Amino acid sequence: MFTEMLASCLVLAAQTYNVPPAVLYGIYKVEGGKVGMANLNTNGSYDLGPMQINTIWLGELTKFWRVNERTAIHWLKNDECTNVGVAAWILKSHLDETGSLPKAIAYYHSRTPKIGEAYRKRVVRAMYNEGLLTGGR
């Protein structure tokens, strides 16, 4: 459920990392996560919280936050602002790496071109359906 708190966190995260809030919202809609959610992936990793942050990021996050893995998982899974902030940080890191917003959106989900491109299209469609984009998809 998209709450006022989540909306505030999303706008703050977008401003902090200089990424478009509409894109973060599109990712949120496609990911379909919720506070407290943990989804097991076929590779044994988990997707956590509203933005479905993959546990593959735990190593980097635990070092940066100087916390253990259990604490990092708890924050990602149960704190919507932390979760959205990490999503914005991930998107920004992909944007800095590629110099391309469409590619950064795709990489948020997968670096496999076919999978990432399909995801990017779903995010754009979600943004369009929410009235955040006009014109063609």
The helix or strand, by DSSP H or E, that contains position 75, with its residue range, turns out to be: helix 69-78
Average pLDDT over residues 113-130: 97
pLDDT at 134: 81
pTM higher than 0.85? yes
Q: Which of 75, 84, 77, 79 is nearest to 7 (CA)?
A: 84
pLDDT surpasses 90 at 39: yes
pLDDT surpasses 90 at 1: no
pLDDT (tens digit, 9 = 90+) per residue, 56-98?
A: 999 999 999 999 999 999 999 999 999 999 999 999 999 999 9
pLDDT surpasses 90 at 11: yes
pLDDT surpasses 60 at 136: no
Q: Which domains does the chain have, with CATH numbers?
A: 4-129 (1.10.530.10)
The helix or strand, by DSSP H or E, that contains position 48, with its residue range, turns out to be: strand 46-48
pLDDT at 21: 97
Quick check: helix, strand or coil at residue 43?
Answer: coil
